[in-house]
Structure 1
Amino acid sequence: MARLPSLRGLQAFEAVARAGNLGSAAEQLRITPSAVSHRVRGLEEELGLQLLQRTHNGLRLTDAGRRYRAGVEDAFATLARATNDLLGPDLSRPLAVSLSSSIGVRWLMPRFDRFRTAHPEIEIAILSSNRSADLTSGEADLALRYGPGEWAGSLRGDLVLSCTVSPLCAPSVMEKIKGLTPAEALARSTLIRLSWDDWDAWLEAAGAGHVEPARKLTFPDFSIGVVAAVHGQGIVLGYSGFADAEIAAGTLVQPFELTVPVKNAYYVVYLEERFADPRVRAFRDWVVAEGRCQSA
């Protein structure tokens, strides 16, 4: 007979491995952190192996835990696919769309009413976080992700937005650097950086890859960087279509003519088997069409 450990223990372990801490795992499972810990310890006792190492900084997977995680995630994904094939998509709950606040605030929300008008029957739940939702576990139905367009396993991604970038700053900052080359200007300015930006690509194209800016400000989110730039705190790298309101209002200007296409882009990502859900198809088709309208 196959050796199968406790399903509750497996669920708790998978949630902790994915979330990285007991608190987030407990929220996902809707139980207490102590209950999550108890279930994981029970699983470890069943297996006779330590899966999680408890440290003063939190939890981390042991070598055995890392190996086991891959198999457990695949098993849950297989169960989810089998259930979906048997019962069909669950249309009673909202369609969950995961995205970062950057594309949510700056690009999706100004257009979102068009989707709601076209599909009033579809209820959407927006999950905004800089952490990528785990689509294989059902954390979200679709995601808008920025990256090179490479997806593992049964994930599928369709291009939404190809991006070009150029620096933006307040008019007061532009007055101080007017007439300077990019290298000269940046050496005297504060560079506003994001944890995921493409400044290196633009600097290289501008012949300023070697330049060390006078100061740096780093933010996790593009919208915060834009607000800082509007208030004259530095130069932010603008992404096509993401700062249109500020440019139209004149609160941000482009100090250099150079605009550079970047390798990364925004994609709508989903599991192949979720495409059977008509709501997934509707959102995918709409968001891809919106991206094409901007690129046209």
Structure 2
Amino acid sequence: MAKTIPPLNPLRVFEAVARLGSFTRGADELHVSQSAVSRQISLLEDYLQVKLFNREQRGISLTDAGRRYQQEVSPAFARIAAATRDLLANNRSGPLRVRAYTTFAAKWLMRRLPLFQQAHPEIDVRLSTDVAPADFASDEIDLAIQFGDGNWPDMQCERLFGDRITPVCSPALLNKPGAPLQALDDLKHHRLLHSHYRSNDWPYWFNAMGRPDLAEHRDSMVFSSSILTYQAAVEGLGVAIGQISLLDQELESGALVCPFETVTRPGFAYYLLLPLRDTMPAKVGVFREWLLAETRQAAG
């Protein structure tokens, strides 16, 4: 029985081209080149020893043999697609529980979640925030996004993107009367904004600039989260250290600017954490693939 089944990839290409009536439209649907489609059709015709398409000046048309073959093959692919949708729907039942740091959730993930929901409306995403380390044995979560050095034993850990920091401020501070912000020493005349959970960012950046003395600056404000720190910078209360991977919207709109060119990389990163298991639920796999694709796009 198995010997009568042709190679599946050429067969899939045939079904798409026959259904759409065009090598070009078939290539677009399958996200491959037209030449690749042509090669796959030739492979199938060679295997079957039957001509499936008439190549004409204005396009293609099915031969009689090709039409009969399509009538049998297309319903089979439709049944496979329907069975797959049913299987995924069953595996995706119940909400997908995602935990992330508040700043990552608010400044990065929430801005992109509508795209995921448009593509996968059948997956109900439940987002929670916490700075505590994920514990899949006791926490009711399917996956977590955490910030650190990548050392999470007994978990599947995938790097999303690294930490990049540089000062950010309201554009109004750049030419503030009597206290412009043009050079490093000008920071002495501006309030430095700190996040409680990222208290080492300013000292790290000053050390990287060769000016650790500036870390002794006395005029400062400390906030309980990075979100409040960034909002304070937007409002012109002072200069904050910004995780620029999370501030693309503010930087693009001009609500925040980077007064200095130097961006430092402390060595930490955001990671996707999953419990170790033999099989991954479909809804988790779908979200994981989407998240990795989004972070690659944002980085590139």
Q: If the length of structure 1 is used for normalisation, what is the TM-score?
A: 0.64
- Name the amino acid aligned to 2:183: T
The alignment partner of 1:137 has SS state of coil
The alignment partner of 2:116 has SS state of helix
Alignment counterpart, residue 203 of structure 2, candidates 200, 214, 230: 200
Deviations 1:34-69 (A, max 9, x none): xxxxxxxxxxxxxxxxxxxxxxxxxxxxxxxxxxxx
Whether the 8 Å contact between 2:92 and 2:282 is mirrored in structure 1 is no
Task: Name the structure 1 match of 2:248.
Answer: 244
**Higher alpha-carbon Rg:** 2
Whether the 8 Å contact between 1:170 and 1:231 is mirrored in structure 2 is yes
State the Cα distance separating 1:179 from its structure 2 match.
Answer: 6.1
Following the alignment from structure 2 to structure 1, what is the Cα–Cα distance between the partners of residues 165 and 227? 15
Alignment counterpart, residue 277 of structure 1, candidates 271, 277, 281: 281
Following the alignment from structure 1 to structure 2, what is the Cα–Cα distance between the partners of residues 229 and 137? 38
- Name the amino acid aligned to 2:209: A
Percent identity reads 30
Following the alignment from structure 2 to structure 1, what is the Cα–Cα distance between the partners of residues 131 and 255? 26
- Name the amino acid aligned to 1:139: E
State the Cα distance separating 1:162 from its structure 2 match.
Answer: 1.6
State the Cα distance separating 1:173 from its structure 2 match.
Answer: 2.0
Task: Name the structure 1 match of 2:79.
Answer: none
Following the alignment from structure 1 to structure 2, what is the Cα–Cα distance between the partners of residues 227 and 269? 29
Q: How does 1:59-70 map to 2 (within 5 A)?
A: none
State the Cα distance separating 1:241 from its structure 2 match.
Answer: 2.9
Q: How does 1:208-227 map to 2 (within 5 A)?
A: 208-211=211-214, 212-227=216-231
Whether the 8 Å contact between 1:190 and 1:235 is mirrored in structure 2 is yes
Task: Name the structure 2 match of 1:256.
Answer: 260
Change (3 A) 1:276 1:245: closer
Following the alignment from structure 1 to structure 2, what is the Cα–Cα distance between the partners of residues 99 and 275? 23
Following the alignment from structure 1 to structure 2, what is the Cα–Cα distance between the partners of residues 135 and 204? 38
Following the alignment from structure 1 to structure 2, what is the Cα–Cα distance between the partners of residues 223 and 274? 37
Q: Point out the more displaced range, 108-117 or 245-254.
A: 245-254
Whether the 8 Å contact between 2:174 and 2:181 is mirrored in structure 1 is no
State the Cα RMSD in Å: 2.1
Whether the 8 Å contact between 2:168 and 2:256 is mirrored in structure 1 is yes
Whether the 8 Å contact between 1:186 and 1:214 is mirrored in structure 2 is no
Task: Name the structure 1 match of 2:173.
Answer: 173
Equivalenced residue count is 206
State the Cα distance separating 1:155 from its structure 2 match.
Answer: 0.9
Following the alignment from structure 2 to structure 1, what is the Cα–Cα distance between the partners of residues 197 and 207? 17
Whether the 8 Å contact between 2:99 and 2:130 is mirrored in structure 1 is yes
The alignment partner of 2:104 has SS state of helix
- Name the amino acid aligned to 2:206: L
